[in-house]
Homo-oligomer: A and B are copies of this chain.
Amino acid sequence: MTGESTAPAPRRRGRPSRTQSEQGPAMREVILDAAREQFSERGYEKASVRSIAKAAGVDSALVHHYFGTKEQVFAAAIEVAFAPALAAPTAVAEGSLDDVGERLTRFILGVWENPKTRTPLLAIVRSAVNNETAATVFRRLISTQLLARIAERLDLPDAELRAELAAAQLVGTAMLRYVIQVEPLASADVEQIVARVAPVVQGHLTGP
């Protein structure tokens, strides 16, 4: 437990000392990094508050103190991992609705093209596909923080369904290009994909 030195005060179960609370933000980050690693390596089911605490070099009680249950640690961890994608509503809002399809398509493909943002995304998708609880946490996140916010900008009937069907085209494209890697899609130029996918996304979002 190499990180032990970063949690110096004597601890009692379930009651972090004042010293620990004072170094809150840094410690929270350390635990969150460990959590992301654990969920990513072991999957939602096999990761535990205990294994996360061990990886962070702290007591399990401290993990509970900052985050609560395993489900809540997971929610916090995927919010961080998903942060780049959560900027999508901003990309949608910045500019006219006339080319929102292209802006959103470029934005999402950009997140997937970059290995640094792709790897944590992939870990979330894996957890969500494998475990009901993880899927529920993920659903809540993308519904409230992504799809509802995009829908909000549209100001059209069925805005949420529109946002979801647009997302479906983008999610499916990402699955086949980056996860399953079918050819020629996996090797196609990004611009070629944008040219074909952006009009579809635009149609879902603002079409008749």
Chain A residues at the B interface, C-beta cutoff of 8 Å:
43, 125-126, 128-130, 135, 138-139, 142-143, 147, 160-161, 164-165, 167-173, 175-177, 179-185, 188, 192-193, 196-197, 199-200, 203-204
Q: Judging by beta carbons under 8 Å apart, are A168 and B172 in contact?
A: yes
Q: Within the complex, what minimum Cβ distance (angstroms) separates A65 from chain B?
A: 30
Integer count of this chain's copies in the complex? 2
Q: Judging by beta carbons under 8 Å apart, are B143 and A164 in contact?
A: no
Out of B170, B177, B180, which one reaches A135, CB within 8 Å?
Answer: B180
Q: Judging by beta carbons under 8 Å apart, are B175 and A161 in contact?
A: no
Residues of chain B within 8 A (CB-CB) of A164 are 176, 182, 184-185
Residues of chain B within 8 A (CB-CB) of A138 are 180
Q: Within the complex, what minimum Cβ distance (angstroms) separates A171 from chain B?
A: 4
